Amino acid sequence: MLIADPANGPVLFGLAKEYEKAGDDVKLIETIERYLAVADDEGNAYGMLAAAYARTNQSEKARAAYERGVEVSAAHGHPGMAEDYRQILANEFSAP
């Protein structure tokens, strides 16, 4: 499907979820970044991306992805998701 339509958002998101299940953070990051370049995500993808960045020791990118996730999820009417991301930022990314 991606060969015929490399910018197919739902397929990219589904593929990223499979990489997440398989524990392949490098491919997850690559795929979810492609997805975010073509899709209007409501917040979930930013959490996936942030967690993958954190697992690969890319803390600044993880923080930025969670921050963007807060903005996007709140804008799309997902206050619970936005609060989850705020809590992660406060607990895992606040200065000591």
* Domain annotation covers residue 33: yes
* Domain annotation covers residue 2: no
Q: Kindly report the CATH number assigned to the domain that includes residue 66.
A: 1.25.40.10
Find the domain containing 78 and state its range: 9-92
Tens of pLDDT, residue by residue over 21-78, are: 999 999 999 999 999 999 999 999 999 999 999 999 999 999 999 999 999 999 999 9
Cβ–Cβ < 8 Å for 75, 87: no
pLDDT at 92 over 90: yes
Number of domains in the chain: 1
Radius of gyration of the chain (CA): 13
Cβ–Cβ < 8 Å for 62, 50: yes
Q: Which amino acid is at 67?
A: E
* Domain annotation covers residue 3: no
